[in-house]
Chain A
Amino acid sequence: MDGVHDLGGTQGFGGVRYAPGAQVFHAAWEMRANALYALCARRGIINMDEYRHAIERMEPRHYLGAGYYERSLTGLATLLVEKGLATAQELNVLAGGRFPLALPAAAGRVNAPGRHRYQAGDAVNVRNEHFSGHVRMPAYIRGKSGVVVAVSPAYPFPDAHAHGLDAEHEPTYDVRFRSIDLWPDACDAAMVHVGVFESYLEPGRAQPPVASAGVALADSA
């Protein structure tokens, strides 16, 4: 889905609120929230794709106003309701007030038919697709061309796995894009690598190696 969670390349955010050695947790409840999602994943009550999608489905104002662990808790609670372990009303009563949950999911989809296999060095295009369910293709690579630099083990296809559909395992590829192809005229020169599921890809046309910051690409895979 084209949601507010898909932040890569979004403009308007300011400086990173950075400090060396920054903390992971800032309050005891954050540790509890983190443990709750982790134990549910470990026990198979939820899978990671369902969990990520439940967070993405948060009402945008809530998503942007909440910190990381509130988003985690909201996603988990939403799944507990959707899986029949609780009702929304029950959560309101237990919390002693309104317990905001994520919005309902659109339909999922199964793996793309007729997928191609790729290997390091292959040119690929990211399919120009818009899909309203869970998808792990960040919008900034949609329709763009890149080169495979590595192949990863097969994983369940998230667009199906997040929706309780039969998810065939498929390889993911580390695909290298040039930042200038992603955001022409408005980016810093860099190579941007994205882990892309096979279903999101189609064969591309070979690109000539292009120098970035004085370093040739041909030998950089």
Chain B
Amino acid sequence: MYLNPATVPAASIESRVSAVEHILERAGVAVKEEVAQLTQLAQEQWIAQNGARLVARSWVDPGFRERLLQNGMAAAAEFGLGMPAHHRCLVVLENSATIHNVICCTLCSCTAFTIIGLPPDWYKDFEYRSRIVRQARTVLAEMGLQLDPAVEIRVWDTTADTRYMVLPQRPRGTEGWSEDRLAAIVTRESMIGVQRLEV
């Protein structure tokens, strides 16, 4: 039976999700258990605090900073942090007074989600995906980040399965802070590169 998209509205999204769950159950998947497990991972494990710990450690331990910049995946593994099988490389992009990095995925919405957290809604929206590569300085300013004209902007488009995270600059006024206190000020936005940290 042909259902014409021009005249027949789609079934509700909830009922479409249920339909897919039904198909997978029939294929032998323990859907309820696996969905519960993955939802818990999404909410409790794939969070920005992971990356924040890496950033804070790199600010207080120059040796760790070197290792993080050299091989992000291996450095994350020191914290027991892993990545999915299809992510084979974590490139850490260090901001400085003269360089600002920002990441995106123009083709879909890829991120190093086990490290910097699942991407927020706006990262997956068409506005960010279309404009950040072409109008980086304008878009960042619109989002509240005014960069000095002398700062070089480097945009990183996640088109292969290499993943990126921005290593933000340590803000002034945090001298002598503990690693935990430093980690608490590192945001997901600063590791995407749409924010610079201040205290």
Q: Which chain B residues in 26-80 approach chain A with CB under 8 Å?
A: 26-27, 29, 31, 34-35, 38-39, 42-43
Give A11 to B130 CA distance when docked, in angstroms. 7
Q: Contacts A17-B121, A24-B120, A99-B19; is A188 near B108 (CB within 8 Å)? A: no
Q: Decide: B156 and A193 in contact? CB cutoff 8 A.
A: yes
Which one of A105-113, A116-124, A147-155 is at the interface? A147-155
Point out the residue from B126, B151, B157 that lies within 8 Å of A138, measured CB to CB: B157
Q: Decide: B142 and A34 in contact? CB cutoff 8 A.
A: no
What chain B residues lie within 8 Å of A190 (beta carbons)?
133, 136-137, 152-155
With an 8 Å Cβ cutoff, the count of chain B residues facing the other chain is 84
What chain B residues lie within 8 Å of A35 (beta carbons)?
34-35, 38-39, 42
Point out the residue from A73, A97, A136, A195 that lies within 8 Å of B8, measured CB to CB: A97
Chain A, residues 14-35, CB within 8 Å of chain B (1/0): the string is 1111111111111001011111
Q: Contacts A22-B122, A195-B158; is A77 near B1 (CB within 8 Å)? A: no
Q: Decide: A91 and B19 in contact? CB cutoff 8 A.
A: yes
Q: Decide: A195 and B154 in contact? CB cutoff 8 A.
A: no
Q: Decide: B161 and A17 in contact? CB cutoff 8 A.
A: no
Q: Contacts A32-B35, A90-B23; is A136 near B11 (CB within 8 Å)? A: no
Q: Decide: B88 and A92 in contact? CB cutoff 8 A.
A: no
Interface range for A: 35 or more
Query: Is A52 an interface residue when CB atoms closer than 8 A count as contact?
Result: yes
Q: Decide: B137 and A188 in contact? CB cutoff 8 A.
A: yes
Closest to B36 in A: A35
Q: Decide: B134 and A136 in contact? CB cutoff 8 A.
A: no
**Contacts A96-B11, A97-B3 known; 11 new A-B pairs at CB < 8 A:** A7-B106, A8-B133, A18-B143, A24-B120, A36-B20, A39-B29, A70-B13, A91-B16, A138-B107, A191-B152, A214-B149
